[in-house]
């Protein structure tokens, strides 16, 4: 009886893990589908449980055909998960070349930092100390409400330029820069409630560098517009996906310039949406070939995902990439020190099918935003 129950446990666990592993392949924006993109590393480790149980059952009952079948399913599932994870390890080739730059070489460098501070957090002084220690040239803070804006107001004394929008409910976003700004604008790409920052940095000795800081809505978040968490619906991924596609469109339309795009994408590095974003823009992910750099949840090591991103165009080499603890926040910050290199001025070469898919995402996200009365007049 015990061995029979053991085999049934193996069957159920194996089928369940196989199903949730491929579930994100379904072309659906439903949050309960898209969320299974996130725990691929965790699911890989979880496969150890049915593997061990299967080995115990095979040892007690002697190996037979069914054991081989379930072993094949488990190995195939593990291989599928690893195919998403391994590009973000040192086993893979890098996308952004490494650069060894000494201070006296005279080569232009800049350091960028992006941090979701968590609007419920109130450890302002500690965040300021972290910023002073890291000393970025460009600083993006996400979820900045009025209390946070007041708590970090002293940053204005250290940075000549500030742009962004202060909002409640985790929707605010502010950027500080010691590099002069040639252009600056706050755009509401899909939702009037979610601003993104578009600036052009005038990097000394280099010229214009386009920069975007963004924070799309996470799938699974309850729609707080109704102010009734008990009856409000959970948001699917369509608005998030549409916003990322609109950011990609801005980069595509100006690919001759250097680009930096950072922010809390609320999407993992290996998802189809993030990979489509990279294909459309030809932007590079400095984590690929180096490290996973999972940033959320900072307080739950077993449930961390790489959802805070930094993408750069060609024309940049990487000196340093790291994550930094933000006191009191549920996110780590991402920091990167970049060296300016020669740009090849190549054009993004996304396929017609990818362009059509991106357009569908924009249309679906716009429709979803309209249904929830958060659509933006700036939507393209």
**81-128 pLDDT, tens per residue?**
999 999 999 999 999 999 875 544 556 899 999 999 999 999 999 999
| pLDDT 10s digits, 235-284 | 788 999 999 999 999 999 998 899 999 999 999 999 999 999 999 999 99
Residue 342's pLDDT band (boundaries 50, 70, 90)? confident
Rounded CA-CA distance 129/294 in Å is: 23
Q: How confident is the model at residue 228 (pLDDT cuts 50, 70, 90)?
A: very low
Q: Is pLDDT of 373 > 60? A: no
Q: What is the pLDDT of residue 271?
A: 95
Mean pLDDT, rounded, for 340-346: 80
Supply the pLDDT for residue 4: 83
**Distance, CA of 43 to CA of 13 (rounded, Å):** 11
Asked whether residue 230 carries a pLDDT value surpassing 50, the answer given is no
In DSSP notation, 273-318 reads HHHHHHHHHT-B-TTTTT-----B-TT-GGG-B--EEEEE-TTEEE
The strand pair at 308-312 and 316-325 is best described as unpaired
d(CA 224, CA 268): 23
Using pLDDT thresholds of 50, 70 and 90, give the confidence band for residue 229: very low
Buried b or exposed e, range 148-177, using 16+ CB within 10 angstroms: bbebbeebeeebebbbbbbbeebbbbbbbb
Decide if 311 contacts 261 (C-beta within 8 A): yes
Q: Average pLDDT of the chain?
A: 91
């Amino acid at each position: 009886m015990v061995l029979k129950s053991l085999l049934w446990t193996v069957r159920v666990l194996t089928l369940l893990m196989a199903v949730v592993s491929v579930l994100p392949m379904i072309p659906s924006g439903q949050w309960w589908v898209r969320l299974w993109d996130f725990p691929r590393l965790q699911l890989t480790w979880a496969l150890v449980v049915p593997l061990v149980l299967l080995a115990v059952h095979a040892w007690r009952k002697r190996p037979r055909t069914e054991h081989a079948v379930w072993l094949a399913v488990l190995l195939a599932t593990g291989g599928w998960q690893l195919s998403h994870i391994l590009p973000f390890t040192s086993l893979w080739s890098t996308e952004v070349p490494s650069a060894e730059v000494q201070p006296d070489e005279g080569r232009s460098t800049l350091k960028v930092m992006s941090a979701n501070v968590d609007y419920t957090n109130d450890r302002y002084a500690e965040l300021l100390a972290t910023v002073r220690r890291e000393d970025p040239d460009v600083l993006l803070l996400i979820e900045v409400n009025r209390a946070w804006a007041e708590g970090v107001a002293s940053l204005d004394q250290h940075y000549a330029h500030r742009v962004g929008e202060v909002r409640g409910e985790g929707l605010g976003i502010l950027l500080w820069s010691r590099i002069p700004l040639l252009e600056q604008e706050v755009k509401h790409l899909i939702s009037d409630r979610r601003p993104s920052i578009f600036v052009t940095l005038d990097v000394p000795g280099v010229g214009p560098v386009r920069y975007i800081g963004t924070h799309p809505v996470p799938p699974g978040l309850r729609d707080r517009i109704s102010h009734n968490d008990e009856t409000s619906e959970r948001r699917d991924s369509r608005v998030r996906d549409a916003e990322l596609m609109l950011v990609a469109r801005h980069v595509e339309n100006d690919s001759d310039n250097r680009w930096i795009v950072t922010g809390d994408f609320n999407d993992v590095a290996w998802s189809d949406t993030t990979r489509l974003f990279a294909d459309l823009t030809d932007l590079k992910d400095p984590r690929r070939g180096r490290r996973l750099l999972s940033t959320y949840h900072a307080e739950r090591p077993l449930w961390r995902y790489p959802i805070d991103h930094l993408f750069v165009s060609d024309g940049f080499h990487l000196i340093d990439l790291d994550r930094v603890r933000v006191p009191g926040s549920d996110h780590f910050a991402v920091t990167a020190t970049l060296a300016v290199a020669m740009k090849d001025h190549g054009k993004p070469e996304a396929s017609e099918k990818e362009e059509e898919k991106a357009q569908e995402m924009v249309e679906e996200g716009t429709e979803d935003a309209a249904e929830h009365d958060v659509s933006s007049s700036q939507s393209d």
